[in-house]
Amino acid sequence: MSEYITHDENDKTAWKCVCGNTPVDAGFFPCNEKGDEVEPTPEEWKKPLYICDSCGRIINKETLEVFGKKNL
């Protein structure tokens, strides 16, 4: 069964991770499939993935599905 993040109840443009992290807490950063942070350029950021800086979940920006997890 797939896992998805949601939007913050008070700000529909802000994400809320399964762990409770939001952009104003630890935040989310562009990453590759391994969860390594990258610059959001076409050369480095091949897929629209973000990592939760609190728990390491890797999130697909387009679907909000958890793609994987990096151990932090």
Dump pLDDT digits (tens) for 10-62: 888 899 999 999 999 999 999 999 999 999 999 999 999 999 999 999 999 99
Tell the residue number behind the tokens 């942070």, with chain if given: 37
What is the per-residue pLDDT for 9? 83
What is the per-residue pLDDT for 12? 82
> Which position has the higher pLDDT, 20 or 9?
20
> Which position has the higher pLDDT, 13 or 68?
68
How far apart are alpha carbons 8 and 37 in whole angstroms?
A: 23
What is the per-residue pLDDT for 46? 93
Q: What is the pTM of this model?
A: 0.91
Q: Which helix (H) or strand (E) holds 49?
A: strand 49-52
